[in-house]
Amino acid sequence: MERVVSDKVCLHRSCFCCQICRRKLSLQNYAALHGVFYCQLHYKQMAEVKSRRETGRLEHQLVDHQKSLSGDTRTKSLKKSNLR
């Protein structure tokens, strides 16, 4: 059986295929993302999804941070108003 070695992984040539479309890959037309092999088309799609998730995660963290800052102010003002 013929084998392919890529990214320090040894695979049967018949197992070296895109995780999404199952198209057989070669050393000239594959891409790997987090140890998973993709054809060029699906690699671009997966990298874009990861980028959007990362952007969304960072935006979510920023909003949470802004809420916590404004929440601290409101909490302080509520405590002051309860003391009156």
**Domain boundaries, position 50:** 3-77
Q: φ, ψ for residue 25 (rounded to 5)?
A: -110, 160
Can you list the positions of beta strands (E) in the chain?
A: 3-6, 9-12, 30-33, 36-39
Confidence of residue 57 (pLDDT cuts 50, 70, 90): confident
- Give the model confidence (pLDDT) of 10-55 as tens digits: 878 888 999 999 999 998 999 988 888 999 999 998 888 888 888 7
CA distances from 69 to 47, 62, 64, 78, 82 (A): 33, 11, 9, 14, 20
Is the pTM for the entire model greater than 0.85?
no
Quick check: is 83 in a domain? no
Distance CA 50, CA 41 (A): 15
Quick check: is 84 in a domain? no
The count of structural domains within the chain is 1
40 CB contacts (<8 Å, ≥6 apart)? 29, 30, 31
Confidence of residue 75 (pLDDT cuts 50, 70, 90): very low
Quick check: is 31 in a domain? yes
